Amino acid sequence: MITLKDSLKAWGTTDFDQRFKAEVEHLPAEQLPLQQALQHTSYVSSDPFSVMVLSTSDESNLIRVKAGAFYSGIIAGCSCVDDPTPMSSIAEHCELQFDIDKRSGATTVTLLSS
């Protein structure tokens, strides 16, 4: 379960977008549905990812954030000596929805597009 307590504390301030971005970018990539969103590659790279807040809304019990995620993927070969597949990163992008509980900061993440 993801908990975004810093983002919750910053809700309603001018620092929200910046603190949300910093907090999400410190999460392990495995906690986000990046693998499911791959379009051009087969595995999410270990390179750092970034997020950009696209919109926010104040729902009754939660804060809803729509964000773009920018990350890299790789096409993994067999790692054989004669494998011609280069191990280079390819840019990937998806949109995610973060629903942050206003009481606890517990957050669910949903893949919106891929």
Mean pLDDT score, 58-62: 94
Query: How many of the other CB atoms lie within 10 Å of CB of 91?
Result: 12
Q: How many angstroms separate the CA atoms of 96 and 99, rounded?
A: 10
Confidence of residue 1 (pLDDT cuts 50, 70, 90): confident
Bridge partners, residue 64, by sequence: 57, 99
Query: How many of the other CB atoms lie within 10 Å of CB of 6?
Result: 16
Q: Express each pLDDT in 94-113 by its tens digit.
A: 999 999 999 999 999 999 96
* pLDDT at residue 89 in the model: 86
Bridge partners, residue 111, by sequence: 96
pTM for the whole structure: 0.89
Query: In this prediction, what percent of the chain has a pLDDT beyond 70?
Result: 89
